[in-house]
Amino acid sequence: MQDDDVNRPVEKSSGVSRRDFLKISGVSAAAVPLMGTKVVQAAGDPVKVYGPGKTAVTLTINGKKHSLQIEPRVTLLDALRDHLDITGAKRVCDRAECGACTILLDGKTVYACSILAIEAQGKAITTIESLTQGDKLHPVQQAFVDNDGSQCGFCTPGFVVATKALLDKHPKPTPEQIRRGLSGNFCRCGTYHGIRHAVAQVAQKGA
């Protein structure tokens, strides 16, 4: 230690720890509580900061609202399966690679494992559970049965949802549109031939 360091006056603490500074790097450290959250100023605009504890989250799933108390880090897939017992979307790779957890978010296919539940608030979440009406299968589900489009079944819910989204957008899809529309889903059993026939069956019937 140099002599200058000994005689240097102690600087007054800013009140922000190094850990807090790293958490809000690039954001003003001045924060005020608001309804269980904090608000910080980012580029002059107020931004809510949630956590690290549980916070209130409201999700609209298959037309029904669900209120939860969960940590902000909880993914939409975990919220569905572990907190709401909506288990159609499957946890397989858990890293947005296989498509087994495919759902619709405002009509678009997404991987539920790669979205935080808190980010899905205010959006329409559609899972495979909404497709069956009573005992009647959705035409896409029936086509998968008719064409033996599944084996182990882990990938099937994701493929069914992705197929529905594809046919909603392209009722008479070309082979290239089918390839691109289902390219985000992976079947380890290799039932792609049956899946393509399922898509063709629904397209021919105009469902």
- What's the confidence (pLDDT) of residue 2? 54
- pLDDT for 6 equals 52
pTM: 0.76
- The answer to whether the beta carbons of residues 203 and 172 sit under 8 Å apart is yes
pLDDT of residue 29: 38
**Going by DSSP bridges, is the β-strand pair 55-61/124-126 parallel, antiparallel, or unpaired?**
parallel
> What is the rounded distance in angstroms from the CA atom of residue 119 to the CA atom of residue 112?
11
Dist CA 90 CA 105 (whole Å): 16
- pLDDT of amino acid 46: 85
From CA 180, how far away is CA 17, in angstroms rounded? 49
The amino acid that residue 131 corresponds to is: L
Contact 70, 55 (CB under 8 A): yes
Contacts of 167 (CB under 8 A, 6+ apart): 140, 173, 199, 202, 203, 207
User: Which residues of the chain are modeled with pLDDT < 70?
Assistant: 1-37, 207
Give the pLDDT score at 137: 96
Q: For residue 16, what pLDDT is reported?
A: 54
Run of H or E residues at 77: helix 76-78
**DSSP 3-state percent helix, strand, coil across the chain (nearest 5):** 35, 20, 45
Closest by CA to 129, choosing from 104, 151, 165, 155, is 104
pLDDT at position 112 is 98
